Structure 1
Amino acid sequence: MPTLHFSEHASPAITVLEDGTRVYRTCSAGIGCHNLGCGLKVHVKDGQLVKVEGDEEHPISKGRLCVRCLTAKEYYYHKDRLLYPMKRAREDRGRNRWERISWDEALETIIAQYRKTVEGYGIGAVSVWCGTGREASQIHFQMANDVFGTVNAVHPNSGWSCIVPRMAAMLWTMGSSYIEADNAIGFPDRYDDPRWECPRYLLVWGRDPLRSNPDGLFGHSLVEMMKRGMKLVVVDPRVNWLATRAEVHLQLRPGTDGALALGLLNVVIEEDLYDHGFVEQWCYGFYELAERVQEYPVDRVAKICEVDADDIRTAARCVSQVPSALSMGLAVDQNPNTLQIGHALLSLFAICGSMDVPGGCFMGLPPIFAGMAENAPVADGVGEPEGLAKFGNVGVEPLGHDRYPAMSAIVNTTHPDATLDVLETNVPYGIHFAYAFGHNTLSCMVPQPQRWYEAMRKIDFIAVADLFMTPTIMGLADLVLPAATFFEKQGYVSNNNASQPGQMGAIVPVLEPAGECRADLEIMLELHRRLYPDSEKPGWASATDFIDSQLGKMRGVDATYDDLCEHVIGQYEIEYRKYEKGLLRADGQPGFNTPTGRIELYSTVLQNLGDDPLPYYLEPKFSAVSRPDLAEEYPLTLTTGARRFTSFHSENRQIATLREIHPQPTVDIHPATAAGYGIAEGSYVWVENHLGRARMMAHLTPIVKENVVSCDHGWWLPEADPENLFDVFEMNVNQLIPHEENGPLGFGTHYKSMPCKIYRTE
């Protein structure tokens, strides 16, 4: 079993320079990224932040930093940061009529409104909302379950289209909580460790890791492996930097990923490129899969996906070589066909023998993701959550799980789309209290944001903790709490909360909180103390105690928060072929953590959940093939969500340097397509379909296919009128995305494949 270890040769966590500047080694957890923890050296003199540099001793990031971290000083000292608790009257929602209050008044107001809600409507009327990534999501379930006693933890992303569908496919077919390309992340010597082998090929599917450092993967590690001989196959409707270096780039029609994945499987099986020994010993349902993929011959798939048939064959032959690895991204989640895409891609690498071998697809340990049904609703692992137990909510399912029962088998949040239905109809009951943090609903995530806005306005009381005023706060909140940056708080970062062993780092407070800002964790602990004054809940006495309790529940971690702060970064050494050693199963027997003990190419779990046990293709519901009537008026295909260096979803719009790099919401259009509509570079255009429209600035580029337009997401303008909600509804591309058009089990939606038209603004 991998264990966390620290380097004996690292520099001190704090160094004092000759001029008195203190240089802190710490890990990042914010300013626009997931909680992977790039290494920082933060220079502080006389209590003031001087600059931020990369920590060259960090074994993963090796001194590299993105532009978001490099502009952290602008972020920390920004004039628009929220510094004090504020309130306003409910009738003033949408108006800039804030009144500064004390923390005592703020917290007691939240508690009073919470108790009023429970007394008047019952505990089901209480909800806790949280966004994506970073360490805030580590406490979402504790905030809902242990503090407010509700199972209605809300992540309002249609179809839960962010990592959860991929993890469902991994768990229900492979029995692993997370599977990622092996980039030697746990070895102190990284690629020089003799146990590691360089992948021959990496299949990068619907992901741009150089811009976003996604779940479990630092993007620059791909470049390091390319220097050591690894080659790429890239699947993406857009051309990115990796695609220009790939042996094969399959620039598919948006939304057709499922067909392409099955086409690759067809080639590998028909050409006998798979590992017969591994399939016979470790896979279940191969012959059924082989029969299914006969329905997807290469010529048919090429026509569906609008790619060259020979390129599909070449790509399949490349990635069948062992070891090769898979890195699939958010585009897999943002598709109603999501589970089947993940199932097909994982099956491809499994039958080739590249699963959990050096240089292949590294398998994470069995589930410890905070919020997996295995751990929830007992979210903190120490007895029953205080709030849930108080209100008899242990075992109660969140909203929407009656309609989408598969959700209960993977995550303990409300179903996002069902949540909007409940807000609009008050069936089966109304939501009257909301606490939100790490989350900007109106600018990001939700399709049909104006529907959400109108529905959320009916909530009696809404409190939000954040770092800046946002459209969500301005439009909906009654009370706002100023949140701390990662410079001002305690915490830790790890790969998918250590379900994907590799590294763990300390978030070290290096600056005094600006104004009266407080960390989300501190706010949660203080609310808990006030709601349960007689509680002696283990691990909840302080932030340090809480972090220690979390670390103590992680496999292979024999370290405290103080240990992390002293060493800054620790690593897990990687264990390969865990299935041969009994490391993947609770009973300690060889095999995989599935009902059959094998990799389930034919998934008994999906079968029991009422879905097809074999992967299949779903044509996008609103495509020209499915809806020729829509295609007459909306002949183009819209894809959204491409990553930018300057932002993470709706964040960083205030930062001058980043806005100079990317100043406006942009739609990428192929020059030939733009010419047909009289659109020039820099023109302002409306992107419109039958659901809504968004105003964007045109950028003409051949990186997108003809007749495909790629729109930025998450935009709002902090410099615009706050009482017009910073123009969010003028430029929010999610207005063109449908509500509750999910896959058969409730996962995924059409963020990547909607019809549209474009035309110049007046």
Structure 2
Amino acid sequence: MEFNDAAVEMRDDVGKPWRYEEDGCTVTRTCVWSAPGCHPVGCGLKVYVKDGEVVKVEGDENHPVTKGRLCVRCLAMKDFLYHPDRIIYPMKRDRANRGKDKWERCSWDEAIAIIKKNYDEVKENYGVESMVAFMGTGRQGNIGATGAHRVLGTPNGCYPLSGFSCYGPRVCITMDVIGSSYPEIDYAGGLPGSYDDPAYTIPQLIIQWGKEPIYSSPDGLFGHAIIDLMRRGTKLVNINPRITWTGSRAVMNVQLRPGTDAALAMAMLDVIIEEDLYDHEFVDLWCFGFDDLAKRVKTMPPEKAAEICEIPAEQIYKLARLYATSKPAAIAWGVSIDQSPNGSQAGQAILALMSITGNIDVPGGQVLVSVSGGDGGKQEDIDSVGWPEMKQELKEAIIGHEEYPFYTGGLKMSQADRQLDALETGKPYPIHFTWIGETNLIAPTCSAQPKRWYDALRKVDFNFATDTWMTPTIQGCCDVVLPLASSLEMETIVPTHYGGSPNYVGALNKCVKCGEAVPEWELYRILGLALNPEMWENREKDFKEFYDTAMMRAYPFDYDELQKKVVIQSEVEYRKYETGKLRPDGKPGFNTATGRVQLYSPMFEMVGEDPLPYYFEAPTTPVSTPELAKEYPFTMMTGAREIGYFHSEGRQIEKLRDLCPDPLVEINPADAEKYGIKAGDWVRIENPWGVCFEKAKITPILKPGYIQAQHGWWFPEEDAEAPHLYGVWKSNINTLIPHSRQGKLGFGAPFRTTLVKISKAQESDLAEADRIGLEGEDGKPIEHADNFFRIDNPELDPAAR
């Protein structure tokens, strides 16, 4: 991508410098990553520092996109920085004391020496493949598997979310179908004139498909841009089993049955093709496999999809026509699609909708990032940060590679469900050493069956963690913890959408320092030099040397320039498939095997998957498991974001906790009345895999028969020691999610389609919440329910396809 320096200079002339003095304070203009926890949006902050301490945080009105608007998490940054529970020094404890609050402060040298001693022993006795680096959102650029590959030298970097059910499926599917990163909606983020820029067109329609950007600015999409565009005339459609806040302002709410998105998308394609509403020119010139797609979607007419999705067929016709005739139109595709075993096929069908209607890489549609030489997309530079020159046999040893080569090859990470299997069984080889990097995986943030993860991790020879807070995961499992800096304590960059959209790049400008916490990249350098120095040649000095020789090489400016400008916008071009800007070879077309949008995927076919979209029933629904549904009549959804928190983070912060003090489960009024549940009552939620407790929120925003249970809950104010672990088991909704229910590519999990039953909790239940979270009513463990549970109808099992 190219960058519009002139526009930035013009803005700086009328705005503020990156650092200045005001009212006795040093004010630093900066952007933010995590904490406070959003994905790469790069919201603009002004941080006021007096006598070396932050006294105030405000929104930066000079930021070209966020324009001074901030969420409550950013506004609570001072509370985050100086909270007494924050980790700001290295700590250690004896392995025998896992679960006990017996941490001792130690020096960086001592902590690194402990890690190195264990690393060397495991490497010599078992090989580097016996190590795993687990990752979460990250504190600095979500550097993914780099810690595994370049620091530990192992192929096993792992995001321990069952089926990698967040963003990873979108990226991998899109890279195959379009040859680019996930195509976010075009909200003029890279244009100097914003929505009024002459190059931009306000979208006539935005479909929020399983996404509510206003709460969390997911995947780098600044959520308030949806409101900005609606004020300028954009119509909104909300496809979601729940009517969300923005959905209440939509022209249409499609409350489909969870997990049926692929059927809906296929039916929309069928209407658009049958009624000749597609863009013939784009299809003829730039699409591969259109006739095959047309034939496939004929098998899913709206009447059939309506029965599957439990919505009126006429609504499908109306939605398909509205989308096809609105020019331009955009689809914001959310994590709820990723969190379905059928999500890959749904994503493939959604990409086909974007493509055949001509909404790919047009103003106001789905915008793509340029990848041609010299403009920020040099593949060799990007690869140099992650997957190193590792021996082929080691790359092939990555856990899950044989069964899920598309997953492991695309993400260069081990398959999450198979990683748990390896921890438990020692197959294909035992795991002896783990790095738990910024992931609170046993609190219900990502892992399905978290008690199984907890038990397995406690048996590993050595576990160390890097984070900003003491979490139940660290308290229960780890031997050393290293402190990480927050967004206000580092110098780095935040590339919007991970650099996958031509919007802007922001600078995180250091404002203060707390204790001995270090930025994530600096920590990688420290660990890398100690454990795997051959991978860190010529990177011994400081952050800037490392960053300038890796990530910053992907941009036509250096960090010093970005720091002074704070934000540099892209120079956005559209229809780059016509000019060769989407392919490294500079030829027109898309960066795919066929040079076109692959509506029919040769790669899927190569790895044994159907090359065309198809629908299959999720493995835990009333349709696929009718006998189970008799005892567990509710379909449970989980994973929706809350305004005050980012997954499990923030519950120590008083201002944020006041917004949402208790774990909530949404229940339709009719269901609440039937089960004698009133607002604020504790509710027992259970199924064959687990039990948890949340407080009732009675609301009509979802249909009878469905509940939405909050995730991420633990209670930092409660007893830290095992087995309590800050009350992590009481409201641990992920204990109810079965392990290993992914699709054939290895993606997806039933986080939105799991069957449960509910009842008003009794005092005796709550008094024994820890025990119930770990054991069944008869005292026997229930965490291995997967061993006896089978799909009632084998034809509905994706593994049987």
Q: Aligned equivalents of 1:367 and 1:681: distance in 2?
A: 56
TM-score by length of 2: 0.91
Q: How does 1:276-291 map to 2 (within 5 A)?
A: 276-291=280-295
Question: How far apart are 1:365 and its partner, in Å?
Answer: 3.6
Contact kept? 1:15, 1:22, Cα under 8 Å: yes
Amino acid at match of 1:131: G
CA distance in 2 between counterparts of 1:111 and 1:21 reads 42
**Contact kept? 2:139, 2:485, Cα under 8 Å:** no
Moved more, 596-605 or 751-760: 596-605
Distance 1:375 1:608, change over 3 A: farther
Kindly indicate whether residue 637 of structure 2 is the aligned counterpart of residue 632 of structure 1.
no
Counterpart check, 1:358 vs 2:363: yes
Q: 1:561 corresponds to which residue?
A: 559
Q: Is the 8 A contact 1:377 1:394 kept in 2?
A: no
* 2:478 equivalent in structure 1: 477
After superposition, the Cα gap between the structure-2 partners of 1:9 and 1:429, relative to the gap in structure 1 and judged at 3 Å, is same
Question: In structure 2, do the counterparts of structure 1 residues 251 and 168 end up closer, same or farther at CA, with 3 Å as the change threshold?
Answer: same
SS in 2 for 1:722: coil
Residue 461 of structure 1: aligned partner: 462
Alignment match, 1:409? 409
Label 1:587 to 1:517 Cα distance change in 2 as closer, same or farther (>3 A): closer
Letter in 2 for 1:605: M
Letter in 1 for 2:433: F
Tell me which residue corresponds to 2:438. 438
User: Which amino acid in the other structure matches residue 650 of structure 2?
Assistant: N
Taking a change above 3 Å as real, the CA distance of residues 337 and 249 of structure 1, as seen in their structure-2 partners, is same
- The equivalent residue for 1:103 is 108
**Any idea what the Cα deviations from partners look like across 1:535-592, whole Å, max 9, x if unmatched?**
87244531111222234432xx221111111111111121100111111122221111
Shift of 1:428: 1.8
Separation in 1, partners of 2:173, 2:156? 24
Give the aligned partner of residue 118 of structure 2.
113
Q: After the TM superposition, which of the residue ranges 717-726 and 521-530 deviates more from structure 2?
A: 521-530
CA distance in 2 between partners of 1:425 and 1:534 (Å): 32
- Say how many residue pairs are matched: 749
Task: Note if contact 2:141-2:495 (Cα within 8 Å) is conserved in structure 1.
Answer: no
Question: Does the 8 Å CA contact 1:673/1:707 hold for their aligned counterparts?
Answer: yes
- Whole-angstrom CA distance in 2 between matches of 1:536 and 1:416: 28
C-alpha distance 283-671 of structure 1, shift in aligned 2 (>3 A): same
1:473 is matched by which residue type in structure 2? I
Quote how far apart the aligned CAs of 1:275 are. 1.2
Aligned mates of 1:587, 1:534 — CA distance in 2: 32
Residues of 2 paired with 1:506 and 1:222: CA distance?
24
Partner of 2:778: none
Give the Cα–Cα distance (whole angstroms) in 2 for the partners of residues 438 and 695 of structure 1.
Answer: 26
- Paired residues for 1:256-271 under 5 Å: 256-271=260-275
Q: Tell me how far 1:397 sits from its aligned partner.
A: 4.2
1:169 aligns with 2:181: no
Is 1:26 equivalent to 2:30 in the alignment?
yes
Instruction: Select 1:152's aligned residue among 151, 156, 161.
Output: 156
Tell me which residue corresponds to 1:310: 314
1:530 aligned to 2:530? yes
User: Matched residue of 2:506: which SS?
Assistant: strand
Q: Is the 8 A contact 1:175 1:366 kept in 2?
A: no
What displacement does 1:396 show? 3.9
Aligned twin of 1:490: 491
Residue in structure 2 matching 1:694, options 692, 695, 701 = 692
The answer on whether the counterparts of 2:185 and 2:331 sit within 8 Å (CA) in structure 1 is: yes
Structure 1 pair 572/597, CA: closer, same or farther in 2 (3 Å)?
same
C-alpha distance in 2, partners of 1:136/1:725?
Answer: 29
Counterpart of 2:543?
543
> Contact conserved, 2:221 with 2:497, CA < 8 A, in 1?
no
| Corresponding residue SS for 1:215 | helix
Partner of 2:398: 398
Percent of aligned pairs sharing the same letter: 44
Alpha-carbon distance between aligned partners in 2 of 1:124 and 1:614, rounded to the nearest angstrom: 35
State TM-score, norm by structure 1: 0.95
**Secondary structure of the corresponding residue to residue 730 of structure 1:** coil
Name which of 25, 39, 45 aligns with 2:50: 45
SS in 1 for 2:134: strand
Q: Distance in 2 between matches of 1:504 and 1:377?
A: 16
Match of 1:55 in 2: 60
Contact kept, 8 Å, 2:3 with 2:568, in 1: the verdict is no
Matching of residue 210 in structure 1 with residue 202 in structure 2: no
| In structure 2, distance between residues paired with 1:410 and 1:74 | 39
3-state SS in 1 of match to 2:729: helix
Contact 1:442 1:453 in 2 (8 A): yes
1:375 Cα shift?
6.6
> Is residue 2:607 matched to residue 1:609?
yes
What amino acid is aligned across from residue 712 of structure 2 in structure 1?
G
Residues in 2 aligned to 1:373 and 1:462: alpha-carbon distance in whole angstroms: 36
- Report if aligned partners of 1:90, 1:478 keep a CA contact under 8 Å in 2: yes
* CA apart distance, 1:7: 3.0
Compared with structure 1, are the counterparts of its residues 632 and 106 closer, same or farther at alpha carbon in structure 2 (3 Å cutoff)?
A: same
Letter in 1 for 2:692: A
Q: Which amino acid counterpart does residue 623 of structure 1 have in structure 2?
A: T
1:749 aligns with: 749
> How far 1:531 moved relative to its partner?
3.6
Q: Aligned AA for 1:580?
A: E
Query: Which letter maps to 1:343?
Result: Q
> 2:453 is matched by which residue type in structure 1?
W
Residue 17 of structure 2 aligns to a residue in which SS?
coil
**SS at structure 2 position matched to 1:348:** helix
**Alignment-mate amino acid for residue 259 of structure 2:** G
* Structure 1 position 533, deviation (Å): 6.2
Q: For 1:274, which of 278, 290, 294 is the aligned residue?
A: 278
Q: Secondary structure of 1:553's match?
A: helix
Please report the RMSD computed on the Cα atoms of aligned residues, expressed in angstroms.
2.0
1:422 corresponds to? 422
Deviation at 1:520, TM superposition (A): 2.1
**Is contact 2:238–2:247 with CA below 8 Å preserved after alignment?**
yes
Deviation at 1:256, TM superposition (A): 1.0
SS at match of 1:727: coil
Partners of 2:621 and 2:408 lie apart in 1 by 31
Change (3 A) 1:736 1:424: same
Q: Distance in 2 between matches of 1:649 and 1:635?
A: 27
Summarize the alignment of residues 571-586 of structure 1 with structure 2, pairs less than 5 Å apart: 571-586=569-584
Q: How far does residue 656 in structure 1 lie from its aligned partner after superposition?
A: 0.5
- State how far apart, in whole Å, the 2-side matches of 1:286 and 1:165 are: 23
Q: Is the 2:667–2:706 Cα contact (8 Å) retained in structure 1?
A: yes
- Tell me by how many angstroms 1:468 deviates: 1.2
Change in 2 beyond 3 A, CA 1:577/1:367: closer
- Whether 1:515 and 2:515 are equivalent positions in the alignment is yes
Structure 1 counterpart of 2:696, which letter? Answer: A
| CA distance in 2: counterparts of 1:678 and 1:78, whole angstroms | 40
Q: Match of 2:774?
A: none
Displacement, 1:283? Answer: 1.3
SS of 2:318's equivalent in the other structure is helix
CA distance in 1, matches of 2:383, 2:222: 31
Note if 1:343 corresponds to 2:341.
no
Q: What is the identity, as a one-letter code, of the residue corresponding to 1:364?
A: V
**Which of the numbers 632, 642, 647 marks the counterpart of 2:645?**
647
Tell me how far 1:296 sits from its aligned partner: 1.2
Q: Conserved in 1, the CA contact under 8 Å of 2:141 and 2:494?
A: no
Amino acid at match of 2:56: K
SS at match of 2:757: strand
Instruction: Output aligned runs, 1:671-686, within 5 Å.
Output: 671-686=669-684
Query: 1:471, 1:307 → 2: CA distance?
Result: 41
Per the alignment, residue 13 of structure 1 pairs with: 18
